[in-house]
């Protein structure tokens, strides 16, 4: 049985489900890195999305069910290489990209949140700057 994941963005606490059928190796590696903490910044070049830069972090180095067009709440993992390692958190229309061009990532986690609430969080980061984020197993 997979654990539920709690995602804290600033003062907001969100529930998330793992997508083990889509990205089993990414999910397994992600669970090994919990709790994961950092900052979300706006990824304006990708549209309405936030990203958590992870440098050269080795979560999983392959692609599983990759996409460049995630729906709001579909969290993606992108391995280091063409661009640095990162998590992408879309809150509206998104085409995943970087200064290196279009990217694809593994959809491994889905935020179970009202899209309007997620959009409010995303716009707050756009206008107010980075937000603290953590990913943890639900207690």
User: Domains of the chain (ranges plus CATH)?
Assistant: 5-137 (2.40.100.20)
Look up residue 19 and give its two tokens.
């997508």
pLDDT number for residue 94:
98
Q: Pick the more confident residue, 67 or 84.
A: 67
pLDDT number for residue 65:
87
pLDDT band at 74 (very low <50, low <70, confident <90, very high): very high
> How far apart, in Å, are the Cα atoms of 41 and each of 10, 18, 46, 67?
12, 22, 12, 20
pLDDT number for residue 116:
97
Q: Is the pLDDT of residue 112 over 80?
A: yes
Look up the pTM and report it. 0.95
User: In angstroms, rounded to a whole number, what is the distance separating the alpha carbons of residues 56 and 42?
Assistant: 20
pLDDT number for residue 61:
81
């Amino acid at each position: 049985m997979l654990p539920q994941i709690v995602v804290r963005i600033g003062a907001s606490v969100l529930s998330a489900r793992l997508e083990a059928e889509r990205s089993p190796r990414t999910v397994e590696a992600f669970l090994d890195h919990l709790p994961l903490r950092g900052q979300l910044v706006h990824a304006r070049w990708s549209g309405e999305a936030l990203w958590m830069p992870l440098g050269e972090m080795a979560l999983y180095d392959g692609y599983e069910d990759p996409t460049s067009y995630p729906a709001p709440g579909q969290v993606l993992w992108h391995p280091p290489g063409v661009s640095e390692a990162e998590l992408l958190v879309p809150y509206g229309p998104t085409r995943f990209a970087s200064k290196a061009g279009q990217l694809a990532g593994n959809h491994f986690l889905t935020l179970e949140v009202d899209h309007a609430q997620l959009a409010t969080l995303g716009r707050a980061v756009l206008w107010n700057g980075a937000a603290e984020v953590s990913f943890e197993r639900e207690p």
